[in-house]
Amino acid sequence: MAINLDSLSPAELQALIKNAEAQMESARKNKAQEVRTRIDALLKSAGLSIDEVYPRRGGKGAKVSKAVVAPKYRNPENAAQTWSGRGKRPLWFSAALKKKGVTAESLLIAGSAPKAAPARKAARKAVRKAPAKKAAK
């Protein structure tokens, strides 16, 4: 079945493409169903299940979900924009910090605790710089 593409109009070519794509999608679905049937037959004859052959992470059929972190910072110009403080800084956060008088602490959402890292670092420095006791002679 040879088709002379040069003699077809753009509308006819478009219709031919759509028909070919539909035929290809149907062929892929039929092939997938055929393979699925063969796999099911192999598993049944071996007395196995798909989970035994291809185990999932976290045990039998366990779904792994990422924990949602509460937002820590809020955009003062658009309250719908928040950031948890994890990952790359959003553009609004970086832009706000460039403004005069705006600090990360001023963008904190009420009720979210500021980082305690500076206090811990200061305590570590104080411990390191403590003079060593000399032994009495």
Residue-wise pLDDT for 63-77, tens only, equals 666 778 888 999 888
Question: Between these two residues, 76 and 57, which has the higher pLDDT value?
Answer: 76
Quote the CA–CA distance of 135 and 115 in Å, as a whole number.
40
pLDDT reading at 112 higher than 90: no
pLDDT reading at 31 higher than 70: yes
At 108 the three-state DSSP class reads strand
- Under 8 Å CB-to-CB from 60, ≥6 apart: which residues? 51
> What is this structure's pTM?
0.38
> Across the chain, how many H-helices and E-strands are there?
4, 2
Query: For residue 131, what is the DSSP state?
Result: P
Q: Nearest CA to 80 among 109, 113, 101?
A: 109
Question: Between these two residues, 131 and 74, which has the higher pLDDT value?
Answer: 74
Radius of gyration of the chain (CA): 32
Question: Between these two residues, 63 and 28, which has the higher pLDDT value?
Answer: 28
CB 73 within 8 A of CB 104: yes
The average confidence (pLDDT) of the chain is 82
Confidence of residue 120 (pLDDT cuts 50, 70, 90): low
Cα distance between the two ends of the chain: 108
At 114 the three-state DSSP class reads coil
The pLDDT value recorded for residue 130 is 56
Question: Between these two residues, 34 and 57, which has the higher pLDDT value?
Answer: 34
Confidence of residue 91 (pLDDT cuts 50, 70, 90): very high
6 φ, ψ (degrees, to nearest 5): -65, -25
Mean pLDDT lowest for which of 14-28, 67-81, 108-122?
Answer: 108-122
